[in-house]
A and B are shown apart, each in its own frame.
Chain A
Amino acid sequence: MKIGFTRRAARTDQAKDTVTRRSVIGAPESQARLMSSEPRPSGDATAAGAKMSVVIVNDLAELERHLAAWEDLAGAAIEPNVFYEPWMLIPALRVYGAGKRLLFALVQTPDPARPLGPPLLCGFFPLELKDHYDSISKKLPLKTLCLWRKPEMIYLCAPLLRAGYGPEALTAFFDWLGAGDHDCSLMEFGFVTGEGPFHHLLVDYLNEHLKFNYVTGAFTRALFRPAADAEDYVRSALGRFRRKELRRQEKRLAETGRLEYTALESGDDVDAWVEEFLEFEANTWKGKGGRALVCDETDRKYFVEIAREAFRRGKLMLLALRFNGRPIAYKLNFLSGVGSFAFKIAFDEEYARYSPGVLLELENIRLLHERPQIKWMDSCADPDRFMINHLWTDRRAIQTLVISTGKRRGDLIVAAIPLLKWGNRRIFRRDLLGR
């Protein structure tokens, strides 16, 4: 089923009053108006009062027409998210998006530098329309808009917002949520950062507009932030005993064969590296458990495509620990501005007693300290990963929150979600937390 979303640019502004009134629950209308006209604490004078419009695109071909603007936005985003950059998202949409009802909310403003030129893209929200709200029950027909996510491939769903235009772009998106003809009562921000610039913007918006919202899940995952130097970092992360033991393991390996740390360089043959990684991963427990990238042809193709493209853009970091020329541990990261994302790791279990995975992580820490432009690396790991949680001392909060779009019943449903969850767990003994 296709839903006929067309350009909504003109409607968002005139619908503004209704939106605000709906969202300020229980507050008298006059008060709501007063609040909406309050000046926002915007730090950037150039963006204050920028007129935003929302354009909805619902097919891939049309989305590709906005490619240049999207690329530009990704480079100027308030918080980098490699998974929502065009070169990574478009191939994902092509292979995993088929059959899903996808739409893309593009928030634009006239470019102050070129008033007659193309508009400046200030916000990008890839959305999926679902008939059910997943966290409660498939039987309840609660139409929901979600940030699009492909589990195991997309680890962060923070939308792209242009630095300097954040509050305006987010407000325009919420205005569209209230006025657009999507018919959904709920908007789920799943797997977004629970701290940092995007989170602050969201909190400010929700506060200012007294929006009904509910955080349905929050967890932390390991984050790397460089220390003064790699030595310092390792010393603060690992105890003396553990460091000594790792040195011993490395030494032992080096004594029995040729041990080398290698990294993919710009002149290297990326295809050979990627092939080798895939083959290596297939031979680990993941391959045996059917969870390696090669186990599914779609996954393999997608992975090869994004790895190749990332390499071309200088955004791929591929490391291998080799023993007698043969890889025994592999790590693959994607880079994005000041941020970076650990995407896959694999190690050979035969060498488990030498901790090849940890040795390669230490090499990764060394290499990251050589790139001062990288301020953080997101582990993209599950919250309970022992090894990475131990080695990477910092954490990043990831959360999922659901917000009423402002449509009919939205607030009531958001208010009812925790109760329904409680009921599910206590009365029907079902754990529907979606873990």
Chain B
Amino acid sequence: MSLLRDTSELSATPNPPDAALPRKMWVEVVRDPEKWADYATAWDEVAAAAIEPNVFFESWMLLPAIPRFGVDSKLLLALVFAPDPTCDHGSPKLCGVFPLEIQIQYRGLHQALPVKTLSLWKHKYCYLCTPLIRAECANETLEAFFEWLDSGDHGCALMEFKFIAGDGPFYHLLTDLLYKMAKPTFISESYTRALFRRAADPGAYLCSALSGKRQRDLKRQSKQLSELGQIEYAALASDNDITAWIEEFLNLEAASWKGKENHALVSRAADREYFETIATEAFQRGQLMMLTLRLDDRPIAGKCNFLAGRGSFAFKIAYDETYSRYSPGKLLEVENIRLAHDNPQLEWMDSCADPVHVMLDLIWTSRRTIQTITVSTGKAPGDLIVSAIPMLKWLKSKLMRRKTTRSQPTNAR
């Protein structure tokens, strides 16, 4: 709609509250992961004021991951700063946090390309890599980051925005900027995963999500289960013993198929420690939501979510397979939906699940796109490589006749 050329109407009177921050921003790069913790306070502030919440990139969740999952990676933290608007000599204000990894190869294709690539850092238990950007100066912050991409001494030709949300404020910001810069982009991965968005009340939500038959099935299963013993839905409360809850959840998971196939949190000491650390920290910050379904005081299903402002993230679920014909996992999901509606601040919950997760896809009616977008940093020959990737992909699939595997995300839950 190219109609109203009324920029004149507004541009004559700029909007001071929104334009409060001066444009001049700069990027500081912290290469030593041990020094990342020095910025934790300012980092937490950015997380609380972020244009889009991402619990996985909050300091308390990311820092414990470095010694456990990041030792072999070349990590760097790009911090975007703005001068303090209130006084000239005040301390600078942190506006953007980009945890990055330098890879000597580009891995967006099935075969690695020998091109040095910067990428948002995704470790084993990080299910979303949307960077944290202060809402009030989001545009300028991302621009400053791109300027640094172009001029910084990272030596990489490509920048991979890995595992970011393919909708919502950050995606809009990125799309806008890439459009303005007319940069070639390559989307190496794009898939949808289940998202919960609250309805007016839990009843309305469940009616729209589940057919009458499914609702009756769940009621029947719940009834049959209660015939076996005393069933109880419990949610972690602020005065509970967090260690006991963590222990209970870990044991439940260890006894399930995940434990048998060595995919459980307890299967590796580092994973276990990481989970204990972040769960305890989240609990202290009031960002942990843990639910259990107990039968005669024995847990038969457990769920662990992390909260971040208006968003939340389902981290792990586990249930006891001996009771699988009563669908304890589904029953607990329904309870989760009830509790999520009780928290008025919570607008959405990201399932963090694989694209095809039949159970969650059924109960969680919304979807969110997850994308990996590759762009040139601005250094040669970035644009050419980005433009050539599809051709390389085609050549590989057609001429080399190698087996292409289905590209699927690896964040198995």
Contact = CB atoms under 8 A, between A and B. Distances in A.
Interface stretch (A52-60, A140-148, A312-320, A415-423): A415-423
Given A27-B404, A214-B390, A419-B387, A207 B7 contact: no
Given A26-B401, A195-B166, A215-B185, A346 B191 contact: no
Contacts of B8: 352
A219 B175 contact: yes
Given A346-B4, A387-B6, A397 B390 contact: no
Contacts of B185: 215, 218
A239 B17 contact: yes
A294 interface: no
B71 interface: no
A285 B190 contact: no
Contacts of B167: 194-196, 397
A119 B390 CA distance: 40
A412 B394 contact: yes
Nearest to A354: B9
Interface string B287-300: 00000000000000
A35 B402 contact: no
Given A240-B17, A419-B388, A200 B397 contact: no
Given A417-B390, A419-B387, A26 B5 contact: no
Contacts of A45: 211, 213
B227 to A, nearest CB: 28
A43 B359 CA distance: 10
Contact of B369 (A195, A422, A431): A195
A117 interface: no
Contacts of B358: 39, 41
A381 interface: yes
Contact of A357 (B4, B17, B211): B4
B4 A345 contact: yes
A386 B184 contact: no
Nearest to A238: B15
Contacts of A383: 176, 179
A374 interface: no
A9 interface: no
Interface stretch (B97-105, B249-257, B278-286, B360-368): B360-368
Nearest to A207: B191
Interface string B139-179: 00000000000000000000000000011010110011011
Interface in B1-44: 1-11, 13, 15-18
B360 to A, nearest CB: 9
B174 to A, nearest CB: 9
Interface in A334-357: 342-347, 352, 355, 357
Nearest to A215: B187
Nearest to B12: A353
Given A155-B1, A383-B179, A418-B186, A203 B394 contact: no
A380 interface: yes
Given A41-B361, A43-B209, A418-B387, 20 more contacts: A43-B365, A152-B2, A200-B192, A203-B369, A207-B191, A210-B407, A212-B394, A217-B179, A220-B175, A239-B17, A241-B16, A344-B1, A347-B6, A386-B11, A390-B15, A397-B167, A414-B390, A419-B390, A419-B391, A422-B383
Contacts of B5: 285
Nearest to B187: A215
Nearest to B7: A386
A241 B9 contact: no
A358 interface: yes
B398 interface: yes
Contacts of A385: 1, 4, 7
Given A219-B175, A220-B176, A387-B9, A343 B391 contact: no
Interface string A205-239: 01100101011011110000000000000000011
Interface in B74-132: none
Contact of B171 (A197, A200, A352, A397): A397
Interface in B355-379: 355-358, 361-362, 365, 367, 369
Secondary structure of the A contact surface, majority rule: mixed
B403 interface: yes
B141 to A, nearest CB: 17
B316 interface: no
Contacts of A412: 394, 398
Most buried by A among B184, B390, B401: B390
22 contacts: A25-B397, A26-B397, A27-B406, A43-B365, A195-B166, A195-B171, A200-B192, A203-B166, A204-B191, A207-B190, A210-B407, A215-B185, A218-B175, A219-B175, A347-B6, A352-B8, A382-B1, A397-B171, A412-B394, A414-B390, A415-B394, A421-B184
B68 interface: no
Interface string B393-413: 111111001111011000000
Contact of A344 (B3, B191, B395): B3
Contact of B176 (A152, A195, A219, A239): A219
B190 A219 contact: no
A186 to B, nearest CB: 13
Given A43-B361, A390-B10, A397-B171, A218 B179 contact: yes
Nearest to A220: B172
A421 B356 CA distance: 35
Interface string A26-43: 111000000100110101
A248 to B, nearest CB: 11
Nearest to A151: B2
A83 B298 CA distance: 57
B394 A358 contact: no
A26 B110 CA distance: 12
A355 B209 CA distance: 46
B404 A218 contact: no
A267 to B, nearest CB: 28
Contacts of B199: none
A79 interface: no
A7 to B, nearest CB: 33
8 nearest A-B residue pairs (beta carbon): A26-B397, A239-B17, A415-B394, A422-B387, A195-B167, A418-B387, A395-B172, A380-B1
Interface in B28-73: none
A352 B7 CA distance: 10
B269 interface: no
Nearest to A379: B1
Nearest to B362: A43
Contacts of B384: 422, 426
B386 interface: yes
A102 to B, nearest CB: 24
B387 A204 contact: no
A242 interface: yes
A241 B172 CA distance: 26
B397 A204 contact: no
Interface in A124-147: none
A41 B351 CA distance: 15
A387 B403 contact: no
Contacts of B389: 418
B244 interface: no
B6 A352 contact: yes
A105 to B, nearest CB: 24
Nearest to B403: A28
Contacts of B356: 38, 41
